[in-house]
Amino acid sequence: MTRHVTDSVSRRTYLQLTGGSAVAGLTATAGCLGGDDLLTPGTAPGFPPFEMIEDGELVGYDIDLLEAVVAETDYELDEWEEFEFSSLIPALQNERIDVIAAAMTITEDRQESIAFSNPYYSADQTVLVREGGDFQPTSFGDFDGVTVGAQEGTTGAGVVESELIEPGIITEDDFSRYGNYVLAVQDLENENIDAIVLDQPVAETFAAQRDVEVAFVFETGEQFGFGIRQADEDVQAGLNDGLAVVQDDGTYEEITARWFGE
């Protein structure tokens, strides 16, 4: 299936970093929730193993899981739309997409503007540093005078603000916000920043593939859910029912093992 890019984020950057090839054509808006019960899904590549571009194709845990969940409902999935993470909620509210599948943490702030399915994954935050580098922190108290990166709009960015900037350990000038974590890891490897704060499974994936390592885990107890519009109660119910089916019939475990080896 052809995947389309609908955000201003550079597709070329993704493809250069992941070795993919160009995809022709851009999609402006999707025909969301038409009479045929077609759902347009949206995600934010650059967050392995949940969603990334490999050989020009959109793949990942969220992709497989949502497709399996929707297959157990009366809905069908349209082609995937790709955005920067911070653009996903506006795209949902503007009806460019109907469901977000992007390792999005369920928070009270987000629930003021969108609804979520039942949780499908739990994760904590981690600190990623250069492998064998001089900076090897064991807590946020070790961050005085260092530079930190995180993806804009994520829990990791919120942790940087609450645990490092607000207490005065680092300043705003020490914090770099990125459109995706692929770019952040590249800056970390190139010594442009000293550390990254991001979700544990994503950090472990980068650590297995790049010259970076996990310094420590910061427990947050966050849970991921599929995002939907607050008025789309039927979609929410359908996703919850489909999620229950794939969790009961072993499909959820198969997908999890495929992407995390669990």
Contact between 156 and 233 under an 8 Å Cβ cutoff? The reply is: no
Task: Give me the mean pLDDT over the 35-52 stretch.
Answer: 91
Provide mean pLDDT across the span 127-156. Answer: 96
Tens digits of residue pLDDT in 145-173: 999 999 999 999 999 999 999 999 999 99
Structure tokens at 249: 């019939």
Does the pLDDT of residue 34 top 90, yes or no? Answer: no
DSSP secondary structure, 189-243, as one string = HTTS-SEEEEEHHHHHHHHHHSSEEEEEEEEEEEEE--EE-TT-HHHHHHHHHHH
Task: Give the model's confidence band at 33: pLDDT under 50 very low, under 70 low, under 90 confident, else very high.
Answer: low
Percent of the chain residues past pLDDT 90, beyond the cut? 84
pLDDT surpasses 50 at 36:
yes
Q: What is the mean pLDDT of residues 134-150?
A: 97
Q: Higher model confidence: residue 50 or residue 262?
A: 50
CA distance 63 to 215: 29
pLDDT band of 262, cuts 50, 70, 90: low
Determine the pLDDT at residue 261.
Answer: 78
Domains of the chain, earliest start first: 4-120+225-260 (3.40.190.10), 123-222 (3.40.190.10)
Listed range (9-13, 96-100, 179-183) with the worst mean pLDDT: 9-13
